[in-house]
Amino acid sequence: MHDFFSARRPSTFSGRAMVATSHPLSTAAGLDILSAGGNAVDAALAAVAVQCVVDPLMTGIGGDCFALYAPAGGAVKALNASGRAPAGATIAALNAAGLIDEIPKTSPHAVTIPGAISGWCRLHGDHGSLPLDRIFARAIGYAADGYRITPRVAKDWAAHVDFVAGDANAAALFLPNGRAPQVGERHAQPLLADRLREVAAAGADGFYKGQTAARMVAHLQSLGGFHTTADFAAGADAAHWVTPIQASYRGYDVHQCPPNGQGLAALVILRIMEGFDIATMSEVDRIHLHAEATKLAYHHRDALMADPGECGDLAETLLSDAVITTLRARIDMDRALPPALWDEPEHKDTVYLCVVDEAGNAISLINSIFNGFGSTRLDPATGVLFHSRGSSFRLIPGHPNAIAPGKRPMHTIIPAMLSKDGRVEMPFGVMGGHYQAAGHATFLSNIIDHGMSLQAAMDAPRTFAFGSVLEVEPTLSEETRTALGARGHAIKVVASPIGGSQAIRMTEGLLEGGSDSRKDGMALGY
């Protein structure tokens, strides 16, 4: 029974259709499309388009996306809409440009060809039903006429003022009057409205070809980028369907996009955890186990996961019984082990959403510009804010994730789905950069091992073994923090919430939805 004195909200329930996002205007846009007869893909595209407008530090059309789609009664399939490096992007070329150790997130070389619009148009072309101008109507309206700033967006926006101020074009748009907009204030992005109108009229070609593409290329080249109009033209058809990877967890099948996403790391964590009786563990044991499994999985992520062309049969190998048994044996339940390998750039800014329609079609979609406000490099002619995903490339010859022409970097953004006995039961996802794979494991364990509702599983205190510390939210008790410290964990109480999440659980005639209370959003249905 839900505790109505807890100040926490319960899960949302409906019988026909539902959408869950991290922003109220995004959820409302998706619900509007569902109510107008649109399907899950239509609603997801409406929701993500709105979010690109109203939550610009987290996502945008200058970013990338991944999706899992499950047609009613059909198999789950995965969409890779991550962008590729320009044809001129080589380690030697970047070294000659003065980049030796890493690619700074504000560098034009951190900008791979944005994949989001290619992904949206692929989804719409293959599975959409309503026209794009109808789907984008609310997003276009908010971009042209303005939208009101919500509390969590305002908090995150204010934390990035100094970063945004480093680019005059971004500052002009995102720091009106020299500061971040405050809660309730109005903000608009009229050029973004123009871009959405172009995509609605011409599809992916409206973004990747013609005048808009030429202007984006000219701006990136003015910053020193290797981008060409040919690179952008090739991006129009970059999004493609791939076969998901999966692993079992206590009788359920967990579906993830294959590398270059980090979904494989989530599956490795779950498989390690499955060897322990988590339901009977103390809170301290459970958090410790999750931390140690996370470090083991992320060691292999950072060393091995990259563009699919570099990974071969990596998923099959890492998820094999032999490898998982070996990894489990390395966990000492009495002490924390030092991190093995963790040197990926930090990144946190992403939006995740999911939709289930009346027919039972389900989509799990994630869209990201990598860092807060991406690279901060904004093209003043088109209004496109570019992501910084290429900053995760390595400049180490021979490394699987080394930059190369036409290559995709390792991504942290991962949508997911849960099924049982061949039937999809839940699209879900967890935002929060590095945390996402670890967050998937914790969220599912809360539901499967502890029988929590979706909302309760999201709202539970979070911890994350990040680098040399164990990050914990302040809601975790002092007693538990002390006990974890006694096992060797370096405890860091975070000032900002860890991640965010959405999910919709499907049972016969009933939908249960949850939207993380750490964000502004909600789950709504009818």
CA geometry: angle 134, 526, 439, nearest 5 deg: 90
The mean pLDDT value for 53-72 works out to 97
pLDDT of res. 512: 98
Residue 266 belongs to what domain range?
1-526
Mean pLDDT of 84-101: 97
Give the per-residue pLDDT at 343: 39
pLDDT digit string (tens) for 324-376? 999 999 999 999 987 554 334 444 458 999 999 999 999 999 999 999 999 99
* 224-238 pLDDT tens trace: 999 999 999 999 999
Q: Does position 240 have pLDDT exceeding 60, yes or no?
A: yes
pLDDT recorded at residue 499: 94
Burial tier of 182 (Cβ tally within 10 Å: 0-12, 13-18, 19+): exposed
Query: Which whole number is the average pLDDT over 134-160?
Result: 97
**The two structure tokens encoding residue 328:** 């489990």
Q: What is the pTM of this model?
A: 0.95
300 or 339: which leads in pLDDT? 300
Q: Give the span between the Cα atoms of 211 and 107, in whole angstroms.
A: 24
Q: Which letter, b or e, does each residue of 190-222 get, where b requires 16 or more Cβ atoms within 10 Å of its Cβ?
A: ebbbebbbbbbebbbbbbbbeebbeebbebbee
Number of CB atoms found within 10 A of residue 77's CB = 18
**Which of 21, 350, 376, 382 is flagged as catalytic?**
350
Q: What is the pLDDT of residue 178?
A: 95
Please give the pLDDT value at position 339. Answer: 58
Q: CB burial class (10 A; 0-12, 13-18, 19+) of residue 90?
A: middle
Question: Is 106 considered catalytic here?
Answer: no
In the chain, how many domains are there?
Answer: 1
Rounded to whole angstroms, the Cα distance separating 395 from 124 reads 36
Q: Is residue 286 scored above 80 in pLDDT?
A: yes
Q: Higher confidence at residue 308 or residue 50? A: 50
What is the per-residue pLDDT for 342? Answer: 34
217-223 average pLDDT score: 98
Q: What is the reported pLDDT for 347?
A: 43
**What's the pLDDT at 351?**
92
